C-alpha cells in the first residue's frame, strides 16, 4: 500500500517542490493550497488537489475529512503553508497580527487536531512542521512573523512528547534563506506598513536586504528543503530538527554562541552588507 502524504502551501515554493519529491518516492500526495489553479501542473504529475484556506475552519475540516474518506489513512503531514508579515510592531494592525497567527500557528494546529486521529488509529505517522531559522533567531521589523515561528517550535516539542506513545513522530524543519515568493511578500508588507513611518529608514534598509535574497548566492532553491523533508520521512529514526539551506546551520550556530546583544550587532552588520549589495 502506498503511503499517503498531505502537503500544505503546495501552490509554490517549498510546498510545490515537496509534492514533486514525495511523488517520486511513491507517495499518494494530497497537495493543498488556496490557489488550486496554481497546482494544476502538480495534478498532471499525479498529485491530488485540495482547496485549503487555513484561516477558515470549515475549509480545514473539509480537507481532513476528504482524505479520511478517500484514503482512510495519513502517513505524513507536511505543514508548510505560511507567510511573513513584516513591519514595526507599532505599525502593524492587530487584525493583521491575528491573521499571521491564524495562518502560521492556529491553522497548522487545527489541521494536526483533525488528522492525528487517523495516525493514532494506524499507530504510525510523521508530522513535519516547517518553521524557519526565524523560530530561533530575531531581526528588526519581523516581530509577528518570528513570534509565530517561535510558537511552532514550542508547539512541536510538546506535541512530540504527547504523540510518541502512539507511534507518531514530530519533526521540525528549519529552512534558512530559500528562493521563493516569501521574500517578495515579506518585503512588500514591510514597505506598506513601515516604509513611510518613524521606522522608514530601518524599513527601507531591511527591504533592500530582503530583496538581496532574489540574487544572493547564499540563497538555496526550494528543492533543498524538499529533499530534507523526504530524508526525514525516509529515516528509520529521524532527527527532531533539521536545519537546511541558505546558511541555516551557520546562523543557528552563531545564535547559540553569541549573547543577545552580540547577535543584535551581527544582524545589523549582515543587514548593512546585504542592503548595500542589493
Catalytic choice (27, 30, 86, 145)? 145
Burial 51-71 (b: 16+ CB within 10 A, else e): ebbbeeeebbeebbebbbeeb
- DSSP output for 30-83: EEEES-GGGGHHHHHTTPEEEE--TT-HHHHHHHHHHHHHHTS--SEEEE----
Instruction: Please give the Cα distance from 9 to 3 (Å, whole number).
Output: 20
The question of whether 145 is a catalytic residue gets the answer yes
Instruction: Please give the Cα distance from 88 to 201 (Å, whole number).
Output: 12
Instruction: Please give the Cα distance from 85 to 67 (Å, whole number).
Output: 30
Task: Find out whether 104 and 132 touch, Cβ atoms under 8 Å.
Answer: no
Q: Would you please indicate which residues are annotated as catalytic (active-site) residues?
A: 145
Amino acid at each position: 500500500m502506498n503511503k499517503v502524504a498531505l502537503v500544505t502551501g503546495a501552490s509554490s515554493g517549498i510546498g510545490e517542490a515537496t509534492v514533486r519529491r514525495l511523488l517520486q518516492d511513491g507517495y499518494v500526495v494530497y497537495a493543498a493550497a488556496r490557489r488550486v489553479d496554481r497546482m494544476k501542473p502538480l495534478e498532471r504529475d499525479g498529485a491530488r488537489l485540495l482547496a485549503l484556506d487555513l484561516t477558515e475552519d470549515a475549509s480545514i475540516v473539509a480537507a481532513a475529512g476528504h482524505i479520511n474518506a478517500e484514503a482512510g489513512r495519513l502517513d505524513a503531514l507536511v505543514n508548510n503553508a505560511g507567510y511573513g508579515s513584516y513591519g514595526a510592531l507599532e505599525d502593524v494592525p492587530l487584525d493583521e497580527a491575528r491573521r499571521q497567527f491564524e495562518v502560521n500557528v492556529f491553522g497548522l494546529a487545527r489541521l494536526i487536531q483533525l488528522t492525528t486521529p487517523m495516525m493514532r488509529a494506524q499507530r504510525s505517522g510523521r508530522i513535519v512542521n516547517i518553521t524557519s531559522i526565524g523560530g530561533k533567531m530575531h531581526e528588526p521589523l519581523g516581530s509577528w512573523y518570528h513570534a509565530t515561528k517561535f510558537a511552532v517550535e514550542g508547539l512541536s516539542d510538546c506535541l512530540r512528547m504527547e504523540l510518541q506513545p502512539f507511534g507518531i513522530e514530530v519533526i521540525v524543519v528549519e529552512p534558512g534563506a530559500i528562493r521563493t515568493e516569501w521574500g517578495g511578500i515579506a518585503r512588500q508588507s514591510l514597505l506598506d506598513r513601515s516604509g513611510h513611518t518613524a521606522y522608514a529608514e530601518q524599513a527601507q534598509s531591511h527591504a533592500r536586504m530582503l530583496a538581496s535574497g532574489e540574487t544572493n548566492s547564499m540563497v538555496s532553491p526550494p528543492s533543498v528543503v524538499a529533499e530534507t523533508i523526504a530524508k526525514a520521512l525516509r529515516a528509520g529514526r529521524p532527527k527532531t530538527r533539521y536545519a537546511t539551506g541558505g546558511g541555516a546551520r551557520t546562523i543557528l550556530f552563531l545564535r547559540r554562541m553569541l549573547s543577545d546583544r552580540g547577535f543584535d550587532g551581527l544582524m545589523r552588520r549582515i543587514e548593512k552588507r546585504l542592503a548595500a549589495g542589493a
